[in-house]
Amino acid sequence: MRPVVSAAAGLLRARLSVTVWILGAVFLQAQTAGAQADSFEALESTVSSVRDALLSNSTTCRLVVSSFLARIEEFNPTINALVSLNPNALSDANDVDERLAAGDSNGKLLCVPILLKDNYDAVGMNTTGGSAALVGNRPSVDTPSVKAFKDEGGIILGKTNLHEMALEGLSVSSLGGQTINPYDHTRTPGGSSGGTGAAIATSFAIFGTGTDAVNSLRSPASANNLVSVRPSRGLVSRAGILPISFTQDSIGPFARNVQDLAVALTVMASVGADEADNATLLVPPEARGIDYSQDLNSGGLGGLRIGLLDGFWNHTASDETSPVIDALASTIDFLKSQGVEIVNVTESIYNATAIAKLDVQQFEFKEVVNRYLSSPSLAGGRSTTWDEVYGSGDFLVIPAQYSFVNNSRSSTTADTGYATAQQGIENLKAAIKATFVSNELDAVIYPEQKNLVVKIGSPSQAGRNGILAAVTGVPVVTVPVGFSPPSDDAPIGVPIGMEILGLPFSESKLLNIANHFTRLRPLRRTPAFADQSVQLGSYAGMPQMHPNSSNIPSVYPLGRLSTS
């Protein structure tokens, strides 16, 4: 006979079952949340993916930062892209987590890890320009763009290597050594902002920064399958930057996609007029206060008129030029298929070699470096003048630049050659405007480099086309247009990029064109050696960064300014 069960006992058993079920569900949910909160996938992540993960409580800012540190520890020994890490990055991430716990999720860059080229002043890290002579150069004030990043919730993760003093495009320095192209370890990453380019391509941060006096925001974007923007002169303050040229210097961001690039530029340009950089005082009011992410998706490519600068091509086929020729030909065919009208621009003035004669860096270099090094916001054991830097023996100048540095020692803005070059620049600005107006152009395009990015140990970064925008101060957005054929050294090929140039303060239009182009023709690919997730480490504090300066090619002797 079955035992008799009272109604009260049955009710108690039912309640216990429900309670056990609820507790089990809560435990499972806690386990799931815990598993989610132990990870964040840094590989190819974006500004929006960081924000979404934080607001869904699937991760914390500390874990986001830790995920990028894990990638840096795993892959940076191969490419040597970083020179230092921000000792405060994890504590800054904790501050963001406290804000989030209090319900504050404001900030365009909430917990976005950012890497800075090591010629940006940032409190807590030295600004070296890659020079061993400036290893102790310690700023007490942030570059305005860096402050803007922090104000929007960004996390400064560290500093990247560069071609020393940002003078060339090989990205080798006495302090940081030789940075390696992540797509082909026998090649350079472009430059001078090559450390940033290699780092962002390998997902060491969401985006990074660079400077550009001739090619340095565009060359690494081209060589590392990234997008970048060289803003119009004056749009972004250059205060707090270790400079080369008041006329030609520009600063801007690199990213893996145009959306993140637009957000980064919006924050950098939000600084506005800055009395510490007179060029910012000349920007028209209508070019201020723009959110460059707002109109990225409006319109389309159909109906655009885009010029081709034929003088910026090398039409002679070779192993190094043919991949560029083919990638640009394919790009032009694609643009035509989208309804773009291509206009050949053949005026003889558009010749990169001829335009290079207008380069004024050697007249301004010593003056602007001395002005920067005399800033009261700098301290520490370091060289304090241009002469001390190049008299210290603790520097690297590649032989191809011996004459530039030696000429800079005595050249000044009072030289007649400087006035002649400046007049030539004004004539070139007028010619660009006339070309756009007479041909009714929306933009012009050309390869960033006539050939593939050069091999490690090359005499210079030959074949680049950045000089037109550098001397005239017009904006350029660089986008990927393809790869060379795969090889043993380059498993998915060497990246190739294209410049999209516009009239002053046409950044919104250029970014719109770039966004449509990259979405319709997605060519972004992760470097093969780093195309994998990395197990998250446990970081009680920031790891130490030790750049490899022992890998400098012997053809670049230290402390030399002549071959004798």
d(CA 141, CA 149): 14
Pair 236, 252: CB distance under 8 Å = yes
Q: Which listed residue (173, 192, 250, 411) is catalytic?
A: 192
Count CB-CB contacts under 10 A for residue 105: 14
Residues 385-388: contacts with CB under 8 Å, at least 24 apart: 388/133
* Degrees to nearest 5, angle at CA 236 with 404 and 369: 30
d(CA 268, CA 281): 16
Pair 145, 454: CB distance under 8 Å = no
Q: Which listed residue (216, 228, 237, 549) is catalytic?
A: 216
How, if at all, do strands 172-173 and 177-178 pair? antiparallel
Question: Among candidates 295, 196, 286, 283, which has minimal Cα distance to 236?
Answer: 283
Q: Which residues contact 423 (CB under 8 A, 6 or more apart)?
A: none
Sequence letter at residue 500: I
Instruction: Take residue 303 and report the two structure tokens written for it.
Output: 């109906």
DSSP E strand boundaries for 235-375: 250-255, 305-309, 341-345
Handedness of CA 183, 188, 191, 192 (dihedral sign): positive
Handedness of CA 305, 309, 315, 319 (dihedral sign): negative
Handedness of CA 397, 212, 126, 546 (dihedral sign): negative
| Strand-pair partners of 260 | none
d(CA 507, CA 188): 29
DSSP E strand boundaries for 475-550: 476-483, 495-501
CA-to-CA dists, residue 483 to 43, 326, 446, angstroms:
21, 10, 16
CA-to-CA dists, residue 68 to 115, 511, 524, angstroms:
11, 27, 19
User: 192 catalytic, yes or no?
Assistant: yes
Q: Which listed residue (108, 117, 150, 366) is catalytic?
A: 117
As annotated, the active-site residues are 117, 192, 216
